[in-house]
Amino acid sequence: MMNMAVPLPLHPATQATASSLPQRAGLGLKTEHFRQVLREQPDIGFFEVHAENYMVAGGPFHHYLGLIREQYPLSLHGVGLSIGTEGPLDQQHLKRLAVLIERYQPQSFSEHLAWSSHGPVFLNDLLPLAYDRPTLDRVCEHIDQVQNTLRRPMLLENPATYLEFRQSSMDEAEFIREVIGRTGCGLLLDVNNVYVSCINHRRDPMAYIDALPLHAVGEIHLAGFAEDTDSLGDRLLIDDHGAPIDNAVWALYLRLLERIGPTATLIERDNQVPAFSVLHAEVRQADELLQCARRLP
């Protein structure tokens, strides 16, 4: 295991709120919907894009995103920083991210509690971590580097997992509490990931949510999953973002809103993307639940 440096002190900017997104439902923006969004200007709270798709200087993606950014709040969601990697963060990737954030001034930036690189090798997946003290130190150091470089706080997303490590000395919720307490980052609470992981590991999803630092939630994600069976024939859920949001996830989302109140909520669909009208219907459904949460005593 590598020797860990003392985490960098937080930049003063990280004392700010990690998200200023509206308390509305938003949608992951797909390139095939650029023109329709600009033409119809749908009633959607915000849009979110994957940062890595825009790490170039120009081109049509930037043209359309710039026009949409003029009309809607924006969230940038990273998938390639590899926050949990054992080695140092990719400084070139971090610099490109800083340029992108300076260009669009998004209301939120988020990344995953996962790793996806080892040395020069990049793996196109979000891989799980062992929840122990060395990993905690490493993740906190990397988040401090990101927040100091970007001069803003970030949101950290809870993962969807399919295995766990025997060497873990704390559970996932405790690990996330420690990270947020030490770095001051916020939490992107992915409700679908909660449901997928808890079903796979035979845990109570609501008990997991209640163990999280809910005061730090700056954004919620909702998505669909695929269903399979493992080698023992047991139910296995896969976070594939390729299906409508399951009723069980909607129910868990409503219970979360009862705990924390209305919070910016993103509808994700990255595979088998349907017509825009189908996604917009899910956005409206989330907005209706957010409205219900506003009426709660």
CATH number of the domain to which 214 belongs: 3.20.20.150
Q: What is the DSSP string of 97-156?
A: HHHHHHHH--SEEEEESSEEEETTEEEEEEE----SHHHHHHHHHHHHHHHHHHTS--EE
User: Could you tell me which of 199, 264, 198 has the C-alpha nearest to residue 229?
Assistant: 199
Residue 199 lies in a domain: yes
- Quote the pLDDT of residue 1: 30
Q: Which two tokens stand for residue 295?
A: 């009426």
> For residue 17, is it within any domain?
no
Confidence (pLDDT) at 297: 76
Number of domains present in the structure of the chain: 1
Q: What is the pLDDT of residues 118-143, one digit of tens each?
A: 777 777 788 899 999 999 999 999 99
Q: Does residue 135 sit within a domain?
A: yes
For residue 6, is it within any domain?
A: no
Domain carrying residue 174: 22-295
Can you tell me whether residue 204 is helix, strand or coil?
coil
Contact 185, 148 (CB under 8 A): no
Q: Is residue 4 part of a domain?
A: no
Residues of the chain with pLDDT below 70 are 1-16
Residue at 194: amino acid letter: V
The per-residue pLDDT for 11 is 29
155 part of a folded domain? yes
- The answer as to whether 5 is a domain residue is no
In a domain, 1, yes or no: no
User: What is the distance between the alpha carbons of residues 199 and 163, in angstroms, rounded to a whole number?
Assistant: 12
Interior angle at CA 203, CA 178 and CA 224, nearest 5: 90
